[in-house]
Structure 1
Amino acid sequence: MRPLLLSLLSIFLMASVAMAQVVNVYSYRQTHLIEPLLQEFREETGINYRLLTGAAGGLLERLIREGANSPADVLVTVDAGNLVAAKQAGVLQPVQSEALVQSIPAHYRDEEGYWYGLSARSRVIYYSPDRIDPAKIPTYESLADPDLGKRICVRSSSNIYNQSLVASMIAHHGAEKTEEWVRGLVNNFARQPQDNDTAQIRSVAAGQCDIGIANTYYFGRLMASDSRQDQQVVEKVELLWPNQDDRGAHMNLSGAGVTKSSRNVDAAVKLIEFLASDRAQSVYAEYNNEYPVNPEVPVSGPIKSFGDFKADTLQLSDLERYQAEAVRIMDRAGWR
């Protein structure tokens, strides 16, 4: 009986320790999008969580302000640019995990282990099939063609998604050629940059421009909407995968890192491992209309209808080298 009692006591103590653990999560993701997965994590591991949501920039500012006294263990945010900014600000710490290395391709994680991608999206071209021949806009580079004219809608240069796209162009073409491209792109703007990604797609449908630049999941949301107005937008707009004959479409991601202030690193790593698991990848991608970073997890939800495409495999941690120059180029070129 004694060995059995000791075994039961050991199990009880281990469970008690796990339940006593709490992972504090700072998340750009809205509560209703990430909390179901956090609840599953708690049920599976016995580790509890506290969740604080906010804007990406606001969360980073908070982490910087709180410093070593921050209660945060994990930062969940979107775009490699924001993850790079967090790394550069010194609010993340490198962690190594065989599970994360196995499930996340190298180009979707920081080379030093400061952050790991959780879901992917592409920044693509949307167009009106009634007003433009897609053969005229097969690449990002073609959007700067002077013969195209003032037909493009896009959001502000302050948007991190656009900054990362330009940073990727620097990685592929160098700063000088990228600045030429940005100047040509700006010359083809149909209006001053404004609003969010969804608004660019809506503007194409409304005839305010013929071409828009936006992330794939925004179109997925419109497709999944019950609104007749949203369905009319989808009916009038087509998605184009750029650069399919060369490097592939620009990719970005949402991701997570362990904070430098974390007092519960092991549990924080377990949470990120859980979010990168097959089960979480499937749920995370479906509810957010994004692509799993793990190539073994099937695509689901509305974006499955987008079909197969060639994705750029640029190492996203390389954007760290080019982000600041991208902003300077956009500013010099008049992208406001």
Structure 2
Amino acid sequence: MMRTILKKSCPPLSTCALMAMLALFSVTACGPSEQEKNSKGVVNIYSARHYDADEELYDLFKKTTGIEVKRIEMKGDLLLERLKAEGNQSPADVILLVDAGNFWRAQSAGLFQPVQSAKLDASVPKNLQGANKDWFGFTKRARVIAYDPSRIKPEQVATYSQLTDPSLKGQICVRPSSNVYNLSMMSGFIQEWGVAKAETWAKGVVANFARPPEGADTDQLKAIAQGQCAISLVNHYYAVRLQRSLDPAEKAIAAKIALSFPDQKGEGTHVNVSGGALARYAPNKANGITFLEFLVSPPAQAIFAKANDEFPILTSAMDDNSALKGLAGFKEAQTPMTVLGINQGEAQKVFDRAGWK
């Protein structure tokens, strides 16, 4: 207000000075608006998540803390490239990503900074954190075997290794090997089995392909329902969403599919994460940490479970989602999430040698 007045053509100096003083007094006397008093600043979120439920998370965070949420959403690869290009001028406070492989890529590019938080340490299992406490998993997703129970018996798909059985020739649909979900799964197998066994497995699965790899996880489920194949590898929540859908066509797909959580008598089912990290150059560092801590709170965890069908790290948050709760309690592979990133280069080479395009 003062600058606007002083830029005008003024009467004598004393009058201008008086006007400026009155303007300053007016601003001071009025004080901040109610909105300003209730605001505790902003948190800038760069997110690779594209779920409607996240709107509910942001609204609840603002209501709970008074911190305004500003965000940018785009695919993971593009998001990381943007952060690299912005460098130390980036406004990002929090980075939300899916899959440990993407966290490893971002970590390797120096896009995170460590977080010292007793709340996060107590809430997030050690194998679901970055090695330097620079990222934290808030939900889990299992890479399961989806199958047509009218054509495949449960005992035929009780392990990942069984997918190489010649009796399943022409029965398997998959998405491309370059997808980060598949790369992380193979990274876990390399850790558990070694490169040679992992490559033999991949070649055996390729020999049983019903078609060349294509599409996303939901496309694989549709292909099973349409009879194009009988088996696929998918993240569990895609199937749960179809089961809970109000769309009759999607419910019809779900009715034709069963899920196997493999290797319950062995290493356990491959699990990955969705989570967040504090950006390296976060201008609102305290608010960024507050947001990360909010994501492990019971209300936020309940939103993850109810709306996204991801397994929350807080198991009690599944109470309102009977479909998800019915799948819980399976044995999880304990592969450290960091390994799923470190082995990705080798995982792609294994897939390439096996002919899994």
Q: State if a TM-score over 0.5 links the two structures.
A: yes
Whether the 8 Å CA contact 1:121–1:215 is kept in 2: the answer is yes
Report the counterpart of residue 135 of structure 2 in structure 1: 115
Report the counterpart of residue 312 of structure 1 in structure 2: 333
1:31 deviates by 6.3
1:154 deviates by 0.7
Report the counterpart of residue 354 of structure 2 in structure 1: 333
Where do residues 1-336 of structure 1 align in structure 2 (5 Å cutoff)?
19-30=39-50, 32-298=52-318, 300-301=320-321, 302-336=323-357
Encode CA deviations 1:89-108: one digit per residue, 9 max, x unaligned.
11111112110111111111
Secondary structure of 1:59's aligned partner: helix
Instruction: State which drifts further: 103-112 or 312-321.
Output: 312-321
Q: How many angstroms apart in 2 are the aligned matches of 1:307 and 1:320? A: 25
1:296/1:97 CA distance change after superposition, 3 Å? farther
Alignment-mate amino acid for residue 89 of structure 2: N
1:19 deviates by 2.2
1:262 deviates by 0.7
Q: How many angstroms apart in 1 are the aligned matches of 2:173 and 2:264? A: 22
Aligned residues: 324
Secondary structure of 1:112's aligned partner: coil
Encode CA deviations 1:227-273: one digit per residue, 9 max, x unaligned.
21111111111111100111111111111001112111111011010
Q: How many angstroms apart in 2 are the aligned matches of 1:45 and 1:187? A: 54
Alignment-mate amino acid for residue 135 of structure 2: W
1:304 deviates by 2.3
Secondary structure of 2:222's aligned partner: helix
Q: Over the residues paired in the alignment, what is the CA RMSD in angstroms?
A: 1.8
Report the counterpart of residue 4 of structure 1 in structure 2: none
1:69 deviates by 0.9
Secondary structure of 2:347's aligned partner: helix
1:123 deviates by 0.7
Alignment-mate amino acid for residue 172 of structure 2: I
Alignment-mate amino acid for residue 109 of structure 2: A
Whether the 8 Å CA contact 1:151–1:188 is kept in 2: the answer is yes
Report the counterpart of residue 6 of structure 1 in structure 2: none
Q: How many angstroms apart in 2 are the aligned matches of 1:307 and 1:294? A: 12
Instruction: State which drifts further: 299-308 or 231-240.
Output: 299-308
Secondary structure of 2:306's aligned partner: helix
Alignment-mate amino acid for residue 81 of structure 1: G
Q: How many angstroms apart in 1 are the aligned matches of 2:319 and 2:183? A: 27
1:18/1:70 CA distance change after superposition, 3 Å? farther
Report the counterpart of residue 8 of structure 1 in structure 2: none
Alignment-mate amino acid for residue 229 of structure 1: A
1:307 deviates by 4.9
1:190 deviates by 0.8
Alignment-mate amino acid for residue 323 of structure 1: Q
Q: How many angstroms apart in 2 are the aligned matches of 1:309 and 1:32? A: 27
Q: How many angstroms apart in 2 are the aligned matches of 1:313 and 1:27? A: 27
Q: How many angstroms apart in 2 are the aligned matches of 1:265 and 1:18? A: 19
1:148 deviates by 2.5
Whether the 8 Å CA contact 1:18–1:45 is kept in 2: the answer is no
Secondary structure of 1:239's aligned partner: strand
Instruction: State which drifts further: 45-54 or 292-301.
Output: 292-301
Q: How many angstroms apart in 1 are the aligned matches of 2:129 and 2:38? A: 28
Q: How many angstroms apart in 2 are the aligned matches of 1:85 and 1:308? A: 30
Alignment-mate amino acid for residue 250 of structure 1: H
Q: How many angstroms apart in 2 are the aligned matches of 1:76 and 1:121? A: 15
Q: How many angstroms apart in 2 are the aligned matches of 1:68 and 1:99? A: 28
Alignment-mate amino acid for residue 204 of structure 1: I
1:20 deviates by 4.8
1:294 deviates by 2.5
1:328 deviates by 1.3
1:248/1:113 CA distance change after superposition, 3 Å? same
Mark the runs of 5 or more structure 1 residues left unpaired by the alignment: 1-11
Q: TM-score, normalised by structure 2?
A: 0.87
Alignment-mate amino acid for residue 330 of structure 1: F
- Percent of pairs with identical residues: 39
Q: How many angstroms apart in 2 are the aligned matches of 1:73 and 1:38? A: 14
Whether the 8 Å CA contact 2:102–2:341 is kept in 1: the answer is no
Encode CA deviations 1:159-218: one digit per residue, 9 max, x unaligned.
100000000101101111111111111111110011110111111111100101100110
